[in-house]
A and B are shown apart, each in its own frame.
Chain A
Amino acid sequence: MAKSTPTKAKSTSDESSKGDHSWSIEGPIQILDPAGKVIDKELEPKLPDDELKEIYRWMVTARSFDERALSLQRQGRLGTYAPLSGQEAAQVGSAWALEQQDWMFPSYREHAVQVVRGQRWVDILTYWGGSEEGNRIPKNVNNFTISIPIATQILHAMGAAWAGKLRGEKMAAIAYFGDGGTSEGDFHEGLNFAGVFKVGTVFFCQNNQYAISVPRERQTSSETIAQKAIAYGFDGVQVDGNDFLAVYYITNRALEKARSGGGPTLIEAITYRFSHHTTADDWTRYRSAAEVEEWKQKDPLIRFRKYLENKKLWSDKDEQKLLEEAKAEVAKAVEEYEKLPERDVEEIFKYTFAEMPWNLKEQLEDLRAYLKEKKPEE
C-alpha cells in the first residue's frame, strides 16, 4: 500500500540559495540528534502525529522485510538480494517528499522507496526471486524499473525531468545512486546536462560509505560528494541520512525547487549499510565489527522511535504491536511470493518488441517443441 499524500513542510525561505545556510555543503544538515532530540526547531517539518507514526511503521516494515529477505536468500528461497538495513531514513525520508506526478529512478537497493511509492513488497521478492514480473509497475505509479548498471539512471531521471519541463508539467524527477556511482561518467554527464538545461532533477546520493568493498575515500578525493554540485553550477547539500526529518526536509525543498523551475540539486545523504552489498559478498572482509557497531549506534529507526517517544507518541506496547504487524505484513508478501503461478515461456519472448518478429516467433516455437519432447522423460 502506497503512502497517503504527506503534508508538506514549509520551506524556510524563498528558493534562492544565496546566503541560505540550509544549502550549505559544510557539515550535514541534522534536525534530530542520535538521541532523537530536535536540535534545529526551525527546520523541523510540522508533520501530523498520525503521519509520524505512519512513517515509523514504514521504516520498521522495511527493516523487517530486509531481514526476512536475507533469511529467505540464505535458505535458498530467494536469489541474490541487496539489503537496505541502515538506510531506511534516507529511503523513506526522500520517498515521503515525492508527489504522485514526480518520477523516481531507483538503483537496485531502493526497495523501501519503491514500495512507499506504490509497488508492493511481493513485487520486490518476485524480482529478486528471478521473475521479471516483479518489475510490473502499476500505470499510475511513476517509478522506473531498477537500473543495475551503476549511475545510468541519473541520465534517465534527468531526461524525464527535461521532458516534463518541455511539456510544461509541474513535476520533478529523483535519481538514486550511491557513493560509488559518483565515480561513473554518467554521474558527470547527468549533472552537467541538468545544470546546463536547468532541469528539475534531484540527484539523491546515498553515501553508505562503501561500493561493495571499496571505501568512499577511494571514489573521490573531494572532501564531500555534495561539493561536486558547485562545479555543475547548482546547489549541493549534505544531510544526515539516518535522520528522517532532515532527509525529508531537504528532499522536499529540493523537489519543490525542481517543480517550480529552480533547477537541480545534489543531495548527499550520509548513511551506512549495516549488511552486505548483496548476499553474494561478505562484509567482514572489508569492514571491522567495531566500525559497523559504531554506525549501529546511529540506527535511523532508534533515532526516530526516540523522537516519537519524546513527543509522547510511542510506547513499548506500540513498539511490540508494530513489530508484530510488520512481521505479519512481510509474511503475507512471502506467502504470496511463494505461490506465484508458473509462467509460460512466451513471457520471455513477448516484450522484446512491440510486435514479435518472425525470428522470435520461430525461436519460441522451436523451444516449445523441444520442451514438449522433453516433458515425458521428466
Chain B
Amino acid sequence: MAQLTLVQAINDALKVEMRRDKSVMVLGEDVGVDGGVFRATEGLLQEFGAGRIVDTPLAESGIVGAAIGLALNGMKPVAEIQFDGFMPPAFDHVVSHIGRVRWRSRGRFNVPMVIRAPYGGGIHAPEHHSESPEAYYAHTPGLKVVMPSGPYDAKGLLISAIRDPDPVIYLEPKKNYRAFREEVPENDYALPFGKANLLKEGSDITVISWGYMARLSLQAAEMLGEQGIGVEVIDLRTLVPLDINAILASVQKTGRCLIAQEAPQTCAFGSELMTLIQEKAFDSLRAPLGRISGFDITIPLYRLEEAYMPDAGRVIRKIKEILQFS
C-alpha cells in the first residue's frame, strides 16, 4: 500500500477507472499537458492520449454541456472545473439538465458523469478560488453530492462516482490536497454512497461534518478527549445520498449535536441536517442543536481569511457551549 496525498489519490482513482473502462474520459481546462493546476490529472495524457484527456477551450458551460452529450452517447466524462468559483458558468447545465435528464425522459436517458472541482478556503488564493458551494447542488433534485475528507475516501468515492448511473458533483477539499498522507490501496475499491464514516467514537456529543471540516473536527475532538470529553465525529462522505441512519443512531446515543461546516451559514447544508435531527430525534435531544459555519459574507482575501475559516478552537468553543446546557 502506498502513502498518498488526497490529490495523488484522485489521480490514482482516475487512472484505475480509465484503465478499467475505455469510455471514461477527462475534460477540462489545463488537465492535459499541464496535468491540472493542482496536478490531479498528472501523467494521464501520456498514458491515455489526447482523445481521452482533453484540454478544452476555456469555457465551463461548454465543458459541462459537452459532457452531457458525451454521456448520452456512451462516454463516461469526468469534467474538471478548475475552481469552485468557476462553477457558476456551468450552473445552467447542472440545474437545468443533468439532474433532470432521467426524470424528463422517463428513464430513457441518464447522464452518468462526474463534475470534479476543488472547493474551500485556506490556501491564500485570489477571489473566486475559495468557495464552498455544496448547498446549491444538494438542493437540486437528481444530483449526488460527494465531499471526501482524506486520501483513502477520495479514491474510493471517486471510483464510485465514475461508476454511478447518476450525475455526481464531487467537491475536493483543496486545503487537504497535500495536507497529509494516508495508506491508499493500489487496487480498485469503491466506497458506497450514503454511508457515513465514523471517524471517532464518543458518548457526550456528536459532531457531523464533511470535507475539510471533518478532519478539523476530528482534531478538535481529540483535543477534547484529553480533557475527558467524549466527542463522536461523523464524516458524511456524501451529502446526497445522506446517511440519515448513522446520524440518528449517533445523536440518539449522545443526545447532543454540533454541525461543523465551512460554507456561509444561512440555508447551508447544515440547516437541513438540523431540521432532520429535530424532526426525527427530538426526543433524544438533551441540548439545542449547534452549528459553526463560515459567515454570511463573501469569503475574504487572504489577509483576513483565517478569521473566516472555522478552526479547532471554534469547534471546541461551540461544543463546550452545548455541553453547558445540560
Give A contacts to B, CB under 8 Å.
103, 105, 132-133, 135-137, 139, 144-145, 147, 149, 152, 154-164, 166-167, 173, 185-186, 189-190, 192-193, 196-197, 351-354, 357-359
| B194 contact from A103, A163, A354, A357, Cβ within 8 A | A357
Ordered nearest first, which 6 A-B pairs have the shortest CB separation?
Answer: A159-B69, A155-B65, A189-B62, A163-B73, A160-B69, A159-B66
**CB proximity to A under 8 Å, residues B293-326:** none
Q: How many Å from the CB of B143 to the closest CB on chain A?
A: 9
Bound-complex Cα distance A133 to B89 (A): 31
Residues of B within 8 A of A (CB): 23, 25, 51-52, 54, 56-57, 59, 61-62, 65-75, 89, 92-93, 96-97, 99, 101-110, 141-142, 144, 164-166, 194, 240-242, 244
Contacts of A133 in B (CB 8 A): 106
B103 proximity list for chain A (CB < 8 A): 132, 351-352
A186 — which chain B residues lie within 8 A by C-beta? 61-62, 65, 92
- CB neighbours of B67 from chain A (8 A): 159
CB distance from B144 to the nearest CB of A (A): 8
In the bound complex, do residue B59 and residue A159 qualify as a contact, i.e. CB atoms below 8 Å apart?
Answer: no
Known contacts A145-B101, A155-B66; A351 and B72 CB within 8 A of each other: no
Given contacts A159-B67, A190-B65, A353-B102, contact A196 B57 (CB under 8 A): yes
Given known contacts A149-B92, A193-B62, A351-B102, is B242 in contact with A359 (CB within 8 Å)? yes
For B167, the closest partner residue in chain A by CB is A353
Q: Binding site of A, secondary structure by majority: helix, strand, loop or mixed?
A: helix
Nearest CB of B to A306, in Å: 40
Known: A103-B73, A163-B70, A163-B73. Contact between A189 and B104, CB under 8 A? no
Interface centre among A103, A132, A193 (most CB of B within 10 A): A193
B23 contact set on A, CB distance < 8 A: 167
In the complex, chain B residues whose CB is within 8 Å of the CB of A144: 72, 105, 109
9 contacts between A and B (CB under 8 A): A136-B106, A144-B105, A152-B92, A156-B97, A162-B70, A186-B61, A197-B54, A353-B102, A353-B144
Q: A136-B108, A192-B62 in contact; A353/B70 too (CB < 8 A)?
A: no
Partner of A162, one of B66, B142, B240: B66
Chain A contacts for B62, CB-based, 8 A: 155, 186, 189-190, 192-193
Across the interface, which residues of A come within 8 angstroms of B164, CB to CB?
354
Cβ contacts under 8 Å, B73 to chain A: 103, 159-161, 163-164, 167
CB–CB A145/B66 < 8 A: no
With A137-B108, A193-B56 as contacts: A163 and B65 at CB distance below 8 Å: no
CB-defined contacts of B72 to chain A, threshold 8 Å: 103, 144, 156, 159-160, 163
In the assembled complex, the Cα of A189 lies from the Cα of B129 at a distance in Å of 23
The CA of A179 and the CA of B231, in the complex, are separated in Å by 61
CA distance A122 to B106 in the complex (A): 16
Instruction: Assess A155 versus B57: contact at CB under 8 Å? Given A135-B104, A149-B92, A192-B62.
Output: no
Q: Would you call A353 and B166 a contact (CB within 8 A)?
A: yes
Cα–Cα, bound, A144→B141 (Å): 20
Most buried by A among B101, B105, B109, B164: B105
